Amino acid sequence: MTLRLLEQVRDQLKTCNVIRSEREFCEQWLGKSECYMRSLRFNQVDPSTDALMTCASKLGWYADKLNHSSARHHTHWASVFAQLRSHCVTAVEARAQHNWRKGSAQ
């Protein structure tokens, strides 16, 4: 599920010409190696909470900067970035809740 979320973020960043490649996304938006997404797909594992929160933080920072712009398209992308940030944070919270609920059931 969260891999799809990161793919959605990557695709949106490509659409607005913020990044050119998955490699750039992994390195600059997730703080991971160039092959991070490929490794997740190959090993069929979810992204780390660190990667999700790094991405959420950067999306939030840019959303704030874009919100202060007078350009109409910047306002649109600020909204998109803020929504994607919210999805990343929600994914981390859901994983954390799953972990503590699983631990308290034992």
What pLDDT is attached to residue 5? 97
Tens of pLDDT, residue by residue over 23-68, are 999 999 999 999 999 999 999 999 999 999 999 999 999 999 999 9
- Asked if the model's pLDDT at residue 4 lies above 90, the reply is yes
User: For residues 88 and 82, what is the distance between their CA atoms, to the nearest angstrom?
Assistant: 10
- Asked if the model's pLDDT at residue 102 lies above 90, the reply is no
Q: Alpha-carbon torsion 68, 26, 83, 75, what sign?
A: positive
Of 58, 75, 59, residue with least CA distance to 67: 75
What pLDDT is attached to residue 106? 58
Tens of pLDDT, residue by residue over 57-82, are 999 999 999 999 988 889 999 999 99
Question: CA 95, 29, 57: angle at the middle one, nearest 5?
Answer: 60
How far does Cα 84 stand from its chain's mean position?
A: 7
* Amino acid at the residue 11: D
Average pLDDT of 5-19?
97
* Amino acid at the residue 51: A
Under the banding of pLDDT at 50, 70 and 90, the label for residue 1 is: low
